[in-house]
Amino acid sequence: MMKSPREIFEGKKVTVMGLGLLGRGLGDTLFLLRSGAIVTVTDLKTPEQLAPSLKRLEGLPVKLHLGGHDPADFINADMILRNADVPRSSLFLKTANDHGVPVEMDESLFCKNFEGTIVGITGTRGKTTTTTLIYNVLLTDRPGVHISGNIMGHATLPLLKTVGGNDTVVLELSSWQLQGFHDSRISPHASVFTNVYPDHMNRYSGMDDYIQDKKAIFLYQKENDFCVFNGDQVESGSLLSEAPGQKYVFRIQDVPLDWKIQMPGKHNRANVAAVVCLCRQLGVKDQVIREAVEKFSGVEHRLQWLGEKNGVGFVNDSTSTTPVAGCAALDSMGEKHILLVAGGSDKNLDLSPFALAAASKAHKIALLDGSATAALRSEIISAGGKDKVLGVFDNLKDAVYKLLDDAKPGYIVLLSPGCSSFGMFQNEFHRGESFISLVRQIME
Q: What is the pLDDT of residues 173-230, one digit of tens each?
A: 999 999 999 999 999 999 999 999 999 998 899 999 999 999 999 999 999 999 999 9
Inter-helix orientation angle 352-361/373-382, to 10°: 60
The 10 Å Cβ neighbour count of residue 433 is 17
Rounded Cα distance, 279 and 148, in Å: 18
Distances (CA, A) of 312 to 309, 339, 404: 5, 10, 9
Mean pLDDT of 275-285: 98
Question: What pLDDT digit, counting tens, does each position of 375-422 carry?
Answer: 999 999 999 999 999 999 999 999 999 999 999 999 999 999 999 988
Q: How confident is the model at residue 328 (pLDDT cuts 50, 70, 90)?
A: very high
**Which CATH number does 9-101 carry?**
3.40.50.720
> Residue 154 pLDDT > 90, yes or no?
no
Q: How confident is the model at residue 423 (pLDDT cuts 50, 70, 90)?
A: confident
SS3 state at 136? helix
- CB 92 within 8 Å of CB 18: no
pLDDT value for 396: 97
Q: How confident is the model at residue 22 (pLDDT cuts 50, 70, 90)?
A: confident
pLDDT value for 216: 98
- Taking the CA atoms of 425, 349, 237 and 108 in sequence, report the sign of the dihedral they define: negative
List all residues 6 or more positions away from 63 whose beta carbon is below 8 Å from its beta carbon.
Answer: 39, 40, 41
Q: Which helix (H) or strand (E) holds 273?
A: helix 266-281
Rounded Cα distance, 83 and 75, in Å: 18
Mean pLDDT of 92-114: 97
Mean pLDDT of 61-69: 97
Q: Which helix (H) or strand (E) holds 374?
A: helix 373-382
pLDDT value for 151: 83
* CATH superfamily membership of 108-295: Mur-like, catalytic domain (3.40.1190.10)
304-443: CATH class? alpha beta
Task: Give the residue extent of every domain in the chain.
Answer: 9-101, 108-295, 304-443
> Residue 20 pLDDT > 90, yes or no?
no
pLDDT value for 179: 97
pLDDT value for 177: 97
Distances (CA, A) of 4 to 28, 34, 132, 160, 161: 15, 12, 27, 7, 7
- CB 74 within 8 Å of CB 99: yes
Q: How far is CA 414 from the centre of its chain?
A: 20
